Structures are given as structure tokens and as C-alpha cells.
Amino acid sequence: MAFLNYHHLRYFWAVAREGNLTRAAEKMHLSQSALSVQLRKLEEHLGHQLFERENRKLVLTEVGRIVLDHAETIFKTGDELQSLLKSGQASNRQVLRVGSVATLSRNFQFDFLKPLMGRTDLELVIRSGSLREMLAQLDAHTLDLVLSNLPVPRDAENLWHSHLLARQRVSLVKKPVKGEKPFRFPEDLKTVPIVLPSLQSDIRADFDLILEQAEIRPLILAEVDDMAMLRLLARETPGVTLVPPVVVQDELRSGVLVECCKIHDLQESFYAITQSRRFPNPLVAQLIQQVKGEV
């Protein structure tokens, strides 16, 4: 196999960063046609298409994303070489890009990623948003996996894999009050106010069904789609909060909150969502298998 032409790689890197052939050509002081020829030569050398056109914009293919990662590593290594010769220090690091839905427990995210914490050879990139936003980034190869509390349907067009990582029970928690009578579920929810996850939550739908069957209309203080906010409200509001204990594990340990009722019919599931790829990030499989082994 012929040696890789690093000039071609630099041209590709410029186009990938700009997302536009004309702007990249201007920055590289080349004609658009000349730059296009250089890109074509790189694709022929690698044997893969690196870009697709979407609405007049160049979008990286899966292979293109991999080539970009390596190109950035190569150019970063060149910068580190110069830095090493000047300061005597350099590093070489892998990258793992993780997306997380906003409704997911931050404590669970931390526990999941904990095996990677402290690794000096790894750069961990974490993004948050709606499940739709995270899946779009996964599809665009800008994320390696997505953490979610809901599985994603798999079909011929979207080859998602929803890896079940854990199932955890759900409880009602509250601030401790001395001398208070034991909480009776669901009867006490006729008078005790409650903070709930939003209607988009899987556990909320099941909880509403339990109360409906018991003919109880709860006094809802707040509905929250962010677990970090749910945790804060549990600490500050009167009444009870419906939440997986992992979300408030620090407050339960310190006694700031107490678990007043375990709801045995409710469980929250946690998934790692990946996509079928020819060149997956090897760190993803390692992490998922490690976490599954601990469940």
C-alpha cells in the first residue's frame, strides 16, 4: 500500500472543519476544483467515501468521522512534538464522546463513567439534551453512545442497539420529621403533596396508573423533566418526591432525605444506546461489558 499523503489529509481536515468546499479552499489558498481533486485522491487511496452532500453542505460519513479523528490526532501529535522539544512534555489521548438525556440521573451517569475517570490517556466528552437530539448526533457520528432511561426501537433504517445496563427501584423520599407516623402508600397521597417526574418519564406513566387504580388524585407541587432539579426540589419542598434512590443517594446517606416508601411495582431502566458501525470506538464495548458485569 502506498504511503498516506499528509497534504491530502490536511486538505480533508480543512474541509471537514469548514463543512464547505469553497470556504476551505479560500483558507487553504487553493481553487475549489484543485481542492476537490485532492479530496478525491484521498478517498481513492483510502477506498472509502468521506463526505455526503446534504442541503449544499458536506457532511462526514462514518469513515469520514474516523478519518477526521485520526487526522486531528496526527496534527495534534505534530504540535505535541514541537511542544516536547520546547518544554519536555507531551501526551497521547483517546477520545470517547458520550451523550446523555436530560432526564437521566447524574449519579448514574457518573457511576457508569467512573471506570474511565482519572485515565490520563483518555479525553471524555459529555453532552446532554433530548433523546432526539442525542440520537441525531449519534447518527451523525459525533457521539459514540447515548445514555438513556428509555430503549430505542430498532428498524431497517435505524440500526440502534439498546443495551440494558441496570434496573433500579423507585421510591418516595422526603425531608425527615421527628415523631412523624409511617407513610401509608397510596392512601396518604390524598393529602400529602408530591413532586413528580414529567409526563415524558416512563416511571411517571406507571405511577399515574397505580394512583388511578387506587382512585387517588394527588396534589402535585411540581413536574420536572430534569433529575438534577428533581433532586433539589426533593431537598427543599414539603411532602414527598417520586425518584429512583440513586438520584438522591448522597442525601439519603447524609440523612438530609429519608426513604418513606419503596414502590415495588416501579423500576427505572438504564440503557446505553449504540449504532451498528463498521468501525466502532473500542472503548464503548469495554465500558458496557464492564458495567454489565457488575449488575
Q: What are 53-90's pLDDT values in tens digits?
A: 887 788 888 888 888 888 887 887 776 667 656 655 44
**Nearest residue to 283 (alpha-carbon basis) of 34, 63, 104, 112:** 112
Identify the sign of the CA torsion 104, 110, 115, 116: positive
- Going from the N-terminus, what domains does the chain have, and what CATH number goes with each? 6-87 (1.10.10.10), 94-166+271-294 (3.40.190.10), 167-268 (3.40.190.290)
Distance CA(193)–CA(189), nearest Å, equals 7
- What letters, b where the CB count within 10 A reaches 16 and e where it falls short, cover 24-57? bbeebebeeeebeebbeebbeebebebbeeeeee
User: Which pLDDT does position 190 carry in this prediction?
Assistant: 92
User: Which pLDDT does position 2 carry in this prediction?
Assistant: 63
User: Which pLDDT does position 123 carry in this prediction?
Assistant: 83
- Residue type at position 234: A
What are phi and psi for residue 36, nearest 5 degrees?
Answer: -60, -40
Distance CA(200)–CA(28), nearest Å, equals 48
Q: Are 270 and 55 in contact (CB under 8 A)?
A: no
Distance CA(116)–CA(191), nearest Å, equals 46
User: Which pLDDT does position 90 carry in this prediction?
Assistant: 46
Distance CA(215)–CA(291), nearest Å, equals 40
Any residues with CB less than 8 A from the CB of 270 and at least 6 apart, and which? 104, 108, 112, 147, 148, 149, 164, 165, 166, 167, 168
pTM for this model (two decimals): 0.65
Residue 29, beta-bridge partner list: none
From first to last of its 295 residues, the chain has per-residue pLDDT tens of: 467 888 888 899 889 888 888 888 888 888 989 889 989 999 998 899 999 888 778 888 888 888 888 888 788 777 666 765 665 544 556 788 999 988 788 888 888 888 888 787 788 889 988 888 999 888 888 889 999 988 898 876 778 899 999 888 899 999 998 888 899 999 999 999 999 988 877 788 889 999 999 999 999 999 988 888 889 999 998 899 999 898 899 999 999 999 999 998 888 889 999 988 877 888 888 888 877 655 4
Instruction: Read off the C-alpha cell for 274.
Output: 449504540
